[in-house]
Amino acid sequence: MKFGVVVFPGSNCDADCNHVLKNVFGQETVYIWHKDDSFDVDCIVLPGGFSYGDYLRAGAIARFSPVMKKVVEFANAGGLVIGICNGFQILLEAGLLPGAMLRNNNLHFRCHDVYLRVENANTPFTNKAFAKQVLKVPIAHGEGNYYCESETLEKLIANGQVVFRYCNAQGEVTDEANPNGSLYNIAGIINEKGNVLGMMPHPERCSEKSLGGEDGKVIWESIIAYLERGANRG
């Protein structure tokens, strides 16, 4: 399988994603510069960071990068896309996912481990997890307060598009476990087709024991397994 990690001016987790995919999972991985207008990969990764300095608002300028036109086309054609932190914000700005990101409700940048509960284990990004599984994954953001209109939230819930929710270590979804005020404790969602995932926590930062945890591996393992099944069917 071949992964493409998009690099925007201000990206700072691109090397982390590249390292995990290439050196931990042995996958062919290439960098895709934000000005590139073509690529040939099986999965696109929009990494975390501060694209274009987060001017205007997080992801607002990156959404107009030349590469994003191709990313949108790739996603609309069914290609797998995962946006992590700033990547999630870019997916929202690009209209590939519904809703918007607000400033954290405490107005502080939050950088620490959180717990996530897997709400939908039947996606290309979570098929190696199980429903209600609790993952310990770090966050690092100032604008992770997910918001959408009530009608959109109802649709997300009904369609199983809420993939991850902030919870405590026991898997209980509580206000205290919510680090940013995100609506419905949302930490990650997918589109209606199920091929585009946005999540605020950083699985690439917890995919090796040397980094203190491996819970993030289940996301990468799920993507690889999904792509390999597709390749075998082809």
Closest CA to 22 of 8, 2, 45, 39: 2
The structure tokens listed for 26 are 């042995």
Is 206 known to be catalytic? no
User: Tokens for 200?
Assistant: 């605020």
Q: By CB neighbour count within 10 A (0-12 exposed, 13-18 middle, 19+ buried), where does 115 fall?
A: buried
Tokens of 136: 């310990």
Cα(94)–Cα(62) distance, integer angstroms: 9
Catalytic residue among 141, 167, 204, 206: 204
For residue 212, give both structure tokens: 């203190």
Strand-pair category, 43-46 with 28-33 = unpaired
Q: How far apart are CA 151 and CA 156, in angstroms?
A: 9
Annotated active-site residue in 13, 85, 148, 206:
85
Residue 159 contacts residue 194 (beta carbons within 8 Å): no
CA–CA gap between residue 46 and residue 86 (Å, rounded)? 8
Is residue 73 part of the annotated active site? The answer reads no
Q: Is 202 a catalytic residue?
A: yes
Out of 93, 141, 148, 202, which one is annotated catalytic?
202
Question: What residues are annotated to the active site?
Answer: 85, 202, 204
